[in-house]
Amino acid sequence: MLENKHSQNQIEEILIQEIQPNKEKQKKPASKIKKIRKKLKGKKRIITLTGLVTISGILNTPQPIRTSTDVEHNQFNSEIENETQIKINALKEYIHLKNPRMPLGEDERLVLAILRESKNLKLPENATIFNKKADPFIFLVALIETESTFNKYAISKANARGYVQIMPQTALWIKEKQMVNFSLSELHSTEINVMLGVRYLNYLSTQFYDIKRICLAYNAGDGNVRRGYYDIRYWIKIQRFYKEFETFLENYKKTLNTPTNI
Protein backbone atom coordinates (compact mmCIF):
# COMPACT_ATOMS: atom_id res chain seq x y z
CA MET A 1 0.00 0.00 0.00
CA LEU A 2 1.41 3.42 -1.04
CA GLU A 3 1.46 6.15 1.58
CA ASN A 4 1.01 9.64 0.02
CA LYS A 5 -1.10 12.79 0.30
CA HIS A 6 -2.91 12.20 -2.98
CA SER A 7 -5.82 9.90 -3.71
CA GLN A 8 -5.43 7.08 -6.24
CA ASN A 9 -7.60 8.97 -8.76
CA GLN A 10 -5.37 12.04 -8.51
CA ILE A 11 -2.26 9.97 -9.14
CA GLU A 12 -3.86 8.32 -12.17
CA GLU A 13 -4.82 11.72 -13.58
CA ILE A 14 -1.22 12.89 -13.15
CA LEU A 15 0.04 9.79 -14.99
CA ILE A 16 -2.39 10.26 -17.86
CA GLN A 17 -1.39 13.88 -18.19
CA GLU A 18 2.29 12.89 -18.19
CA ILE A 19 2.03 10.28 -20.97
CA GLN A 20 -0.85 11.69 -23.05
CA PRO A 21 0.31 13.19 -26.38
CA ASN A 22 -0.20 16.92 -26.68
CA LYS A 23 -2.39 17.40 -29.73
CA GLU A 24 -1.54 21.11 -29.96
CA LYS A 25 2.18 20.23 -29.76
CA GLN A 26 2.62 22.71 -26.91
CA LYS A 27 5.24 22.02 -24.29
CA LYS A 28 4.24 22.12 -20.64
CA PRO A 29 5.86 24.84 -18.64
CA ALA A 30 9.00 23.65 -16.90
CA SER A 31 7.55 24.59 -13.53
CA LYS A 32 4.55 22.28 -14.05
CA ILE A 33 6.79 19.36 -15.04
CA LYS A 34 8.86 19.93 -11.90
CA LYS A 35 5.68 19.80 -9.79
CA ILE A 36 4.68 16.46 -11.34
CA ARG A 37 8.15 15.02 -10.74
CA LYS A 38 8.05 16.24 -7.15
CA LYS A 39 4.71 14.51 -6.57
CA LEU A 40 6.05 11.25 -8.03
CA LYS A 41 9.39 11.47 -6.21
CA GLY A 42 10.11 8.37 -4.14
CA LYS A 43 7.47 6.29 -5.90
CA LYS A 44 8.59 3.00 -7.51
CA ARG A 45 8.28 3.14 -11.31
CA ILE A 46 7.96 0.18 -13.62
CA ILE A 47 8.63 0.59 -17.33
CA THR A 48 6.46 -1.84 -19.23
CA LEU A 49 6.96 -3.12 -22.77
CA THR A 50 4.42 -0.56 -23.98
CA GLY A 51 6.47 2.27 -22.53
CA LEU A 52 3.84 3.17 -19.96
CA VAL A 53 4.81 4.19 -16.45
CA THR A 54 2.97 2.52 -13.59
CA ILE A 55 3.30 2.81 -9.85
CA SER A 56 3.46 -0.24 -7.64
CA GLY A 57 0.27 -0.48 -5.69
CA ILE A 58 -1.94 0.96 -8.44
CA LEU A 59 -1.73 -2.08 -10.72
CA ASN A 60 -2.00 -5.41 -8.95
CA THR A 61 -0.39 -8.53 -10.43
CA PRO A 62 -3.18 -11.02 -11.19
CA GLN A 63 -3.03 -14.31 -9.33
CA PRO A 64 -2.87 -17.55 -11.38
CA ILE A 65 -6.34 -18.85 -12.13
CA ARG A 66 -7.00 -22.37 -10.90
CA THR A 67 -9.25 -24.13 -13.39
CA SER A 68 -11.50 -27.12 -12.88
CA THR A 69 -9.05 -29.12 -15.01
CA ASP A 70 -6.26 -28.42 -12.50
CA VAL A 71 -8.48 -29.59 -9.64
CA GLU A 72 -9.43 -32.78 -11.49
CA HIS A 73 -5.77 -33.46 -12.34
CA ASN A 74 -4.72 -33.12 -8.68
CA GLN A 75 -7.57 -35.37 -7.57
CA PHE A 76 -6.59 -37.95 -10.20
CA ASN A 77 -2.95 -37.95 -9.00
CA SER A 78 -4.11 -38.29 -5.40
CA GLU A 79 -6.30 -41.28 -6.30
CA ILE A 80 -3.36 -42.96 -8.07
CA GLU A 81 -1.13 -42.44 -5.02
CA ASN A 82 -3.80 -43.87 -2.71
CA GLU A 83 -4.36 -46.87 -4.98
CA THR A 84 -0.61 -47.55 -5.13
CA GLN A 85 -0.26 -47.37 -1.35
CA ILE A 86 -3.18 -49.77 -0.93
CA LYS A 87 -1.47 -52.25 -3.27
CA ILE A 88 1.79 -51.96 -1.32
CA ASN A 89 0.17 -52.52 2.07
CA ALA A 90 -2.04 -55.35 0.84
CA LEU A 91 0.82 -57.22 -0.80
CA LYS A 92 3.01 -56.88 2.29
CA GLU A 93 0.28 -58.54 4.36
CA TYR A 94 -0.26 -61.22 1.72
CA ILE A 95 3.47 -62.04 1.55
CA HIS A 96 3.68 -62.46 5.34
CA LEU A 97 0.69 -64.81 5.24
CA LYS A 98 2.45 -66.96 2.63
CA ASN A 99 5.96 -66.64 4.04
CA PRO A 100 5.94 -65.68 7.74
CA ARG A 101 9.75 -65.91 7.79
CA MET A 102 10.15 -62.97 5.42
CA PRO A 103 12.89 -60.76 6.98
CA LEU A 104 11.88 -57.33 8.24
CA GLY A 105 12.38 -54.75 5.51
CA GLU A 106 12.71 -57.32 2.74
CA ASP A 107 8.94 -57.41 2.32
CA GLU A 108 8.81 -53.76 1.30
CA ARG A 109 11.87 -54.16 -0.92
CA LEU A 110 10.18 -57.04 -2.77
CA VAL A 111 6.84 -55.23 -3.01
CA LEU A 112 8.44 -52.15 -4.55
CA ALA A 113 10.38 -54.31 -7.01
CA ILE A 114 7.18 -56.08 -8.06
CA LEU A 115 5.31 -52.79 -8.36
CA ARG A 116 8.05 -51.25 -10.50
CA GLU A 117 8.69 -54.26 -12.75
CA SER A 118 5.00 -55.01 -13.27
CA LYS A 119 4.85 -51.70 -15.14
CA ASN A 120 7.59 -53.02 -17.45
CA LEU A 121 5.84 -56.35 -18.01
CA LYS A 122 4.53 -56.61 -21.57
CA LEU A 123 1.82 -59.23 -21.66
CA PRO A 124 -0.12 -59.79 -24.90
CA GLU A 125 -3.01 -57.37 -25.40
CA ASN A 126 -5.46 -60.27 -25.40
CA ALA A 127 -4.06 -61.85 -22.22
CA THR A 128 -6.91 -62.93 -19.96
CA ILE A 129 -7.21 -64.96 -16.77
CA PHE A 130 -10.66 -66.24 -15.79
CA ASN A 131 -12.13 -64.31 -18.73
CA LYS A 132 -10.82 -60.97 -17.47
CA LYS A 133 -7.92 -58.89 -18.77
CA ALA A 134 -4.80 -59.97 -16.91
CA ASP A 135 -3.47 -57.47 -14.40
CA PRO A 136 0.37 -57.39 -14.70
CA PHE A 137 0.80 -56.58 -10.99
CA ILE A 138 -1.37 -59.48 -9.81
CA PHE A 139 0.11 -61.79 -12.44
CA LEU A 140 3.69 -61.11 -11.32
CA VAL A 141 2.73 -61.76 -7.71
CA ALA A 142 1.15 -65.09 -8.74
CA LEU A 143 4.23 -66.12 -10.74
CA ILE A 144 6.62 -65.37 -7.87
CA GLU A 145 4.44 -67.28 -5.43
CA THR A 146 4.32 -70.22 -7.83
CA GLU A 147 8.08 -70.21 -8.33
CA SER A 148 9.41 -69.61 -4.82
CA THR A 149 6.60 -68.85 -2.33
CA PHE A 150 8.34 -65.47 -1.82
CA ASN A 151 11.62 -67.09 -0.77
CA LYS A 152 14.53 -64.86 -1.77
CA TYR A 153 17.16 -67.58 -1.39
CA ALA A 154 15.25 -70.44 -3.00
CA ILE A 155 17.38 -72.74 -5.17
CA SER A 156 15.79 -75.52 -7.20
CA LYS A 157 17.28 -78.91 -8.06
CA ALA A 158 17.96 -77.50 -11.54
CA ASN A 159 19.85 -74.54 -9.92
CA ALA A 160 17.15 -71.93 -10.62
CA ARG A 161 17.64 -68.97 -8.29
CA GLY A 162 15.67 -66.52 -6.18
CA TYR A 163 12.13 -65.19 -6.22
CA VAL A 164 11.53 -65.79 -9.93
CA GLN A 165 13.72 -68.92 -10.11
CA ILE A 166 15.90 -67.64 -12.93
CA MET A 167 18.47 -70.06 -14.32
CA PRO A 168 22.06 -68.75 -14.38
CA GLN A 169 22.42 -69.58 -18.10
CA THR A 170 19.15 -67.73 -18.83
CA ALA A 171 20.41 -64.74 -16.85
CA LEU A 172 23.65 -64.71 -18.85
CA TRP A 173 21.68 -64.90 -22.09
CA ILE A 174 19.59 -61.88 -21.05
CA LYS A 175 22.74 -60.04 -20.03
CA GLU A 176 24.32 -60.59 -23.44
CA LYS A 177 21.22 -60.01 -25.60
CA GLN A 178 19.80 -57.04 -23.70
CA MET A 179 23.08 -55.60 -22.41
CA VAL A 180 22.07 -55.63 -18.73
CA ASN A 181 24.87 -54.92 -16.28
CA PHE A 182 24.99 -57.41 -13.39
CA SER A 183 27.03 -60.37 -12.15
CA LEU A 184 25.87 -63.91 -11.39
CA SER A 185 26.66 -63.29 -7.72
CA GLU A 186 23.73 -60.82 -7.74
CA LEU A 187 21.09 -63.31 -8.86
CA HIS A 188 19.58 -63.29 -5.37
CA SER A 189 19.41 -59.49 -5.30
CA THR A 190 15.73 -58.63 -5.01
CA GLU A 191 15.65 -55.94 -7.69
CA ILE A 192 17.88 -57.79 -10.17
CA ASN A 193 16.11 -61.11 -9.72
CA VAL A 194 12.62 -59.71 -10.33
CA MET A 195 13.88 -57.58 -13.22
CA LEU A 196 15.42 -60.61 -14.95
CA GLY A 197 12.20 -62.58 -14.54
CA VAL A 198 10.19 -59.81 -16.20
CA ARG A 199 12.68 -59.47 -19.05
CA TYR A 200 12.48 -63.19 -19.74
CA LEU A 201 8.67 -63.03 -19.69
CA ASN A 202 8.79 -60.14 -22.15
CA TYR A 203 10.99 -62.21 -24.45
CA LEU A 204 8.57 -65.15 -24.25
CA SER A 205 5.70 -62.76 -25.09
CA THR A 206 7.40 -62.18 -28.45
CA GLN A 207 7.54 -65.92 -29.08
CA PHE A 208 4.05 -66.88 -27.90
CA TYR A 209 0.95 -64.73 -28.03
CA ASP A 210 -0.98 -66.66 -25.42
CA ILE A 211 -0.46 -66.08 -21.68
CA LYS A 212 -0.93 -69.77 -20.92
CA ARG A 213 1.86 -70.83 -23.33
CA ILE A 214 4.07 -67.99 -22.05
CA CYS A 215 3.78 -69.35 -18.51
CA LEU A 216 4.37 -72.94 -19.61
CA ALA A 217 7.46 -71.82 -21.56
CA TYR A 218 8.73 -69.92 -18.52
CA ASN A 219 8.58 -73.15 -16.57
CA ALA A 220 9.60 -75.75 -19.15
CA GLY A 221 11.51 -73.72 -21.76
CA ASP A 222 10.22 -72.35 -25.05
CA GLY A 223 11.75 -75.20 -27.07
CA ASN A 224 9.99 -77.83 -24.98
CA VAL A 225 6.64 -76.06 -25.27
CA ARG A 226 6.98 -75.97 -29.07
CA ARG A 227 7.58 -79.73 -29.00
CA GLY A 228 4.62 -80.26 -26.68
CA TYR A 229 6.59 -81.04 -23.53
CA TYR A 230 5.26 -79.12 -20.52
CA ASP A 231 3.48 -79.57 -17.19
CA ILE A 232 -0.05 -78.13 -17.31
CA ARG A 233 -0.15 -78.12 -13.50
CA TYR A 234 2.15 -75.09 -13.57
CA TRP A 235 -0.47 -73.02 -15.39
CA ILE A 236 -3.16 -74.24 -12.99
CA LYS A 237 -1.08 -73.02 -10.03
CA ILE A 238 -0.52 -69.63 -11.67
CA GLN A 239 -4.27 -69.23 -12.09
CA ARG A 240 -4.99 -70.32 -8.52
CA PHE A 241 -2.52 -67.91 -6.95
CA TYR A 242 -3.68 -65.14 -9.28
CA LYS A 243 -7.25 -65.59 -8.03
CA GLU A 244 -6.11 -65.82 -4.41
CA PHE A 245 -4.26 -62.53 -4.46
CA GLU A 246 -6.91 -60.81 -6.56
CA THR A 247 -9.53 -61.78 -3.97
CA PHE A 248 -7.25 -60.80 -1.09
CA LEU A 249 -6.67 -57.36 -2.65
CA GLU A 250 -10.41 -56.81 -3.21
CA ASN A 251 -11.22 -57.78 0.39
CA TYR A 252 -8.41 -55.57 1.69
CA LYS A 253 -9.91 -52.58 -0.12
CA LYS A 254 -13.36 -53.37 1.31
CA THR A 255 -12.04 -53.35 4.87
CA LEU A 256 -10.65 -49.86 4.31
CA ASN A 257 -14.09 -48.63 3.23
CA THR A 258 -15.94 -50.33 6.09
CA PRO A 259 -16.48 -48.05 9.12
CA THR A 260 -15.43 -49.55 12.43
CA ASN A 261 -17.84 -49.61 15.36
CA ILE A 262 -16.47 -48.17 18.59
Each residue's pLDDT tens digit, 103-116: 989 999 999 999 99
Pick the CATH number of 79-257 from 3.40.309.10, 2.40.50.140, 3.40.50.300, 1.10.530.10: 1.10.530.10
Domains of the chain, by residue range, sit at 8-21+31-55, 79-257
Tell me which of 134-143, 199-208, 251-260 is least confident.
251-260
Q: Which pTM was predicted?
A: 0.71
Each residue's pLDDT tens digit, 80-127: 789 999 999 999 999 999 999 999 899 999 999 999 999 999 999 999
Distance of CA 261 to the CA centre of its chain: 35
For the chain, give the percent of residues with pLDDT over 70: 68
Q: For residues 3 and 54, what is the distance between their CA atoms, to the nearest angstrom?
A: 16
Tell me which of 16-25, 152-161, 211-220 is least confident.
16-25
Q: For residues 108 and 17, what is the distance between their CA atoms, to the nearest angstrom?
A: 71
Quick one: average pLDDT of 252-261? 78
Res 215 pLDDT > 90: yes
Q: Are 174 and 199 in contact (CB under 8 A)?
A: yes
Quick one: average pLDDT of 169-190? 96
The mean predicted confidence, pLDDT, of the chain is 83
- pLDDT-derived band at 58, boundaries 50, 70, 90: very low
Torsion of CA 242, 243, 245, 249, to 10 degrees: 130
User: Given this model, what pLDDT does residue 179 score?
Assistant: 94
Each residue's pLDDT tens digit, 155-170: 999 999 999 999 999 9
Strands 128-129, 132-133: pairing is: antiparallel
Query: What is the DSSP annotation of the chain?
Result: ----SS-HHHHHHHHHHHHS--TT-PPPPHHHHHHHHHHHTT--EEE-TT--EEEBTTBPPPPPP--HHHHHHHHHHHHHHHHHHHHHHHHHHHHHHH-TTPPTTHHHHHHHHHHHHHTT----TT-EETTEEPPHHHHHHHHHHHHHTT-TT-B-TT--BTTTTB-HHHHHHHHHHHT----GGGTT-HHHHHHHHHHHHHHHHHH-SSHHHHHHHHHH-HHHHHHT---HHHHHHHHHHHHHHHHHHHHHHHHHHSPPP-
User: Given this model, what pLDDT does residue 79 score?
Assistant: 74
